[in-house]
Amino acid sequence: MRTTVWFVILILLHVHTILCAQTLNVSLPLDGAVYQQVGGNGNVKVLGTFNSKTFLGGGYVVQAFFQKLDLTTGNPTSEQPRIYQAAQGNTNFSISANDLPKGWYELTVRAVRKPTFGSPKTYEQKRKVGIGEVFLIAGQSNAQGVPGRVAPNTVFMDAVRVSPNVIPEAQLGMTDPTQLPDKYNKVQNLVPTTSQPSGIGPLGNSMWYWASVGAKIAQACQAPVAFFNASYGGTTVTQWVTSTNFEARSASFDFAGQDNRYQPGSPYQFFANVLRNYASAYGVRAVLWMQGETDNLAQREGSSGQSQWSDKTLVNRAFSPINAILGNGASPNSQEKRYVRNSAEYAQKLQYVVQQSRNDLKRSVPWVIARASYIQNTTSQLIIDGQNMVLNSSGLGSLVAGPATDGITSREDGTHFGLGGLDQAADAWTNSIISLCSNPNWGQVTVQDLGTEAQSVNISADGSTVSAPGGLSYSWVRDDGTTTDMDAALCFDQTIGSNCTGRYRAVVKNADGNLVFSQAIDFPYTIVDDTNDGSTGSAPLATGCYTLKAKHSNKFLQVADGNAGTRIRQQDGNGSTNQIFKLEVVDGSLYRIISQFSNKVMDANGAGTGSGTTVNQHDWANSAQQKWRLEAYGDGTYKFAPSYSSALVADVEGPGQDNGAGLHLWSPYGGDSQRFYVQTSGCSGGTTPPPTNPPTGSLSGCYVIRSVQTNQLMEAIAGNTVEQRGANGANNQIWKAETTSANQYRFVTQNGSGLAMSVNALNNGELLRLSASSGDTRQLWTIQDNGSGAYRINGSNGVTWDMKNYGNEPQLQLWGSTSEGFQNQRLFRFESTGCPGGTPNPTTPTGGSLAFQIVSYNCTTGVLQYQFTSSNSTPVTVFLPGIFAGTMNPNIVTSYTFPNDGRIGQTATGSATQSGNQIAINFTTGCSIPTNPTTPTNPNPSGSYEGHLDGANCGNIWGWVYTPNSPNTPVTVELLANGNVVSSFVASEFRQDLQNAGKGNGAHSFNYSPPSSIKNGQNQSISVRVLGNGFVLTGSPQTINCSGGRLSTGENLVQGKITLFPNPTDGNFTVRFFAAKDQLTQLSVLDLTGRKLSERTITGEGVEHEEAVSLFGASNGIYLIQIQQDVKTITEKLILRK
């Protein structure tokens, strides 16, 4: 029996609910939901609750109105709405909108009180929903998408919907699909492509060409379209087959000294999660499959005897050997056949994946299979034949031929579609699947087919018990209105009582293992007696603890500290007590609102009567400005009005969407910034005193400092910097807290250096460093307890310690302030440990044969060529801030381009170490930098050469070079512009025509991006010559003229993406990105553990920049290339293969 690990990705609702007030709560369908049509129609199940005693007694009529919308704009059309009646069960209700014609609708659920039960009263909720086409995308990177890329001709439509919850590329390789972290274990409302989200959840990196495909299908079929993307870049069909076993760790190609394994169940289980859960929620028209490129590469290299793709023993989660599915039959364990030997083997494996998807869903979900193999400018008929064999097989059925994309040659890196290619791919996919909606009775799987149509809970007449609909198993999971935590299930029984606190949703597994969703219910569930017109003069909410969330921003109100007068502000949810308030009834119908963090109350400053009066916290004084009236809007939100005025209500200033926007009073106009969700939360048990800075001496002795966000320790590392690391028991992770007279602390590393944590300036973005211990304020820190033993660490101006990029990068920096709420990436724990007394670092010898040599420097272009010369071949560890940090091989020329303002007069200092020998580096840029007279070692073999410069333009310089004296050795060449060397690189890309012509293994071509230093609007005579030999490639020179570093006419600058050339690389590569004028861009190279190997900062010139980067000293493997601009981080994977 096959066991399937399942999880539920659940649901950010459009409307949040509260507890003890009559509230119309509609929790299904989700906002933006698209249900799969059949025969031009579909069904929508509307589920909700209305905790009103009048409703329980039959005093309200509940109806659903479906108003047709324009597909592009989302605006109402002139058609009359379709109306459906609710079926009531005590205080829960369901509405079956059956046979709803395909289309895009605004759903309004309205409860209207009957005249015989009192004066007119109406509650309503709205959202958008559709009957249309649902597609699940799978495959590799040309289906997954390149970050920031979108087809130029895309029409963005309101009715084309995607999931915005995307697992970042930098974290994908570290994420187990069978044990997803809470932050990815959810589904948000489906958002329109008009909002231009960053990707298509859960794995799609961008809108790519899919938004364009969706618009074309929606327009042609006059129906909305939804996409979910579970593609995984760089994967082979073997890895998809292997990972159908959720315990298996499939192997990628081998790296020197590395055993590269995917997470258990990757990539297939990401897709299986999406298939089971999204199909359960919405149904599905088809799986859109595009894969085969990496199989082309693997087959070509594996069949030529290259060992990186040889058969390999498969291991499980615990790294124990197991049998591979469709393996090689070896004993004792059948090994993975990591490259396909022939078309039939590819077909067999893809057929296995298709059939497994149908086994998982228990239905024959259709597949549309693209014919794709194009990688590194080569194609494979073997792979294409295998894909065609699957399409022509008689045993599977429900298969559709997708586009043949190998004919699309607009590829920005020889593999991934360029801008023109994206438009062509959109057209090709549209032509392949448009017939599906014109033949609406073919192949689709609906929620009715799966038996997963949403079903209502049953609530007892007194609200004391709630029962889930019948099923095979039950899980009541927490839903706080934005996220459902599948690791915090309340219970697994069909019926639960009212002795619980919080918001829960029943998820029922049916006999086929698919999932059925119910309403989300607030516990304790209270039915409000509103039979006396709902207005008895009593307070609408019971005394208790709640969170207060602004409707317009989905951010929580909070206090930042314990000080009287501190402004109430909004902030992302963090689960801390500073976002919990106790609402306590006073004077019969008013409230005082008490922070559970500071024990102070919400206060309208000075009882102000004008708009703009700030709302702060103060000690309780029983004054009118500290008492608040709550009034329900009827959509699950409340207005907060000061007791002394009916002309003012609480309002978020702006209305701002950002963290830190303050609360003030404003004239009521009913906007979402004046509406607040009030959700129950457990009280902390009595009052919580405000945080205080510990008195002098309360921190005394030595500690390790642990990040709450990552559980890593702060470590003093080489180069006098501070980064997070796993515990190592060494002195460089121990810090002595030294108290100063100003009630501040200085943290001194115990590695023996006596250096203290400091910064260059108390500004956001400054990295924590080490410097000589002193009384400088940049070394002095105060701490604040968050009430649970974790501390915020602050500079004298209130700026706080922060784990960079939410802990996804190793650096400790300054960011934020004490005016903001406590956040995990800014919280630390001090764990006491003995002071070791400090063992001095071992002295490192200097000198030896290691030397730093400047080969050349052009003060006009800013191009520096340098190398480390040594008779020792071991790698050199380099610390040259702003230029290079990491390891590189000696005797290899490396290039760096200084920015405009650093080309003359900038001093560079650093050090380099090799085998214990350390040297200092110090030079100043100028037009006469002295160079070391040492002759650089020539990396190229001696003998004759041949080669050709095939072409040069503003985007690429390409050609080939080869020596028959060493036919399989790649050649290092120099790029010259107007006779000056501007860079060097290795010609190592494979070309089939070179191999066919007898040029060794064919890996002798290059495709190099011209550096931005020669894009100055002047003619550049481009030549390429062999380094150390002088042979100039035939076809040289060629003239280019590129203005100001911009792309040539017809090419588009795309902000928010990076391009890597070449990729894979043998060590030298170029990073291309756009940076606005004066925008600071941080370019980093990281390994898969997140360890930063190098970093540089570039000042934007309003153009597309190109930065040459070297990884010569690094081991083969996958690396992450990352740029950070303002608050946005973009990451691309790079393969290093020497």
DSSP line for 533-564:
TT-SSS-SS-SEEEEEEETTT--EEE--SS-T
pLDDT over 90 at 200, yes or no = yes
pLDDT over 50 at 936, yes or no = no
pLDDT over 90 at 676, yes or no = yes
pLDDT over 80 at 1101, yes or no = no
Across residues 778-795, what is the average pLDDT? 82
Would you identify the CATH topology of the domain 851-924? Immunoglobulin-like (2.60.40)
Mean confidence (pLDDT) of the chain? 81
Would you identify the CATH topology of the domain 544-680? Trefoil (Acidic Fibroblast Growth Factor, subunit A) (2.80.10)
Highest mean pLDDT among 295-309, 517-531, 884-898, 1099-1113 belongs to 295-309
CATH number among 1.10.3470, 3.30.43, 1.10.10, 2.60.40, domain 938-1032: 2.60.40
Between residues 336 and 893, the one the model is more confident about: 336
From CA 618, how far away is CA 605, in angstroms rounded?
A: 9
Question: Helices 210-221 & 419-438, crossing angle to 10 degrees?
Answer: 30
Domain ranges within the chain, ordered by starting residue:
132-251+261-293+343-438, 544-680, 701-833, 851-924, 938-1032
Across residues 198-210, what is the average pLDDT? 92
- Kindly indicate the confidence band of residue 239, based on its pLDDT and cuts at 50, 70 and 90: very high
- Kindly indicate the confidence band of residue 693, based on its pLDDT and cuts at 50, 70 and 90: very low
Helix (H) or strand (E) holding 711: none
Single pTM value for the model: 0.55
As its CATH architecture, domain 701-833 has Trefoil (2.80)
From CA 193, how far away is CA 544, in angstroms rounded?
A: 41
**What is the per-residue pLDDT for 617?**
94
pLDDT over 50 at 692, yes or no = no
From CA 959, how far away is CA 951, in angstroms rounded?
A: 7
Q: What are the structure tokens assigned to 873, written together?
A: 């071949």
Between residues 897 and 958, the one the model is more confident about: 958
From CA 22, how far away is CA 13, in angstroms rounded?
A: 19
From CA 1074, how far away is CA 1104, in angstroms rounded?
A: 4
Q: Coil, strand or helix: which one is 607?
A: helix
Closest CA to 486 of 179, 195, 191, 844: 179
Residues belonging to the chain? 1138
Would you identify the CATH topology of the domain 132-251+261-293+343-438? Rossmann fold (3.40.50)
Query: Number of C-alpha atoms within 13 angstroms, CB side, residue 366?
Result: 22
From CA 629, how far away is CA 632, in angstroms rounded?
A: 10
pLDDT over 80 at 921, yes or no = yes
Closest CA to 29 of 8, 15, 50: 15
pLDDT over 50 at 1045, yes or no = no
Provide the 8-state DSSP code for 200: B
DSSP 478-490: EE-SS-EEEEEEE
Across residues 816-832, what is the average pLDDT? 79
**What is the per-residue pLDDT for 326?**
94
pLDDT over 50 at 401, yes or no = yes
From CA 277, how far away is CA 202, in angstroms rounded?
A: 12
**What is the per-residue pLDDT for 291?**
97
Instruction: Decide if 544-680 and 701-833 have a common fold.
Output: yes
Closest CA to 502 of 30, 29, 8, 19: 19
From CA 491, how far away is CA 506, in angstroms rounded?
A: 10
Q: What is the pLDDT of residues 58-99, one digit of tens each?
A: 889 999 999 999 999 999 998 889 999 999 988 999 999 999
Across residues 457-465, what is the average pLDDT? 82
Mark out the alpha helices in 557-703 (DSSP H runs): none
From CA 270, how far away is CA 266, in angstroms rounded?
A: 7
Angle at 152 between CA 150 and CA 153, to 5 degrees: 115
pLDDT over 80 at 163, yes or no = yes
Across residues 31-55, what is the average pLDDT? 92
- Kindly indicate the confidence band of residue 771, based on its pLDDT and cuts at 50, 70 and 90: confident
**What is the per-residue pLDDT for 621?**
85
From CA 282, how far away is CA 324, in angstroms rounded?
A: 34
- Kindly indicate the confidence band of residue 695, based on its pLDDT and cuts at 50, 70 and 90: very low
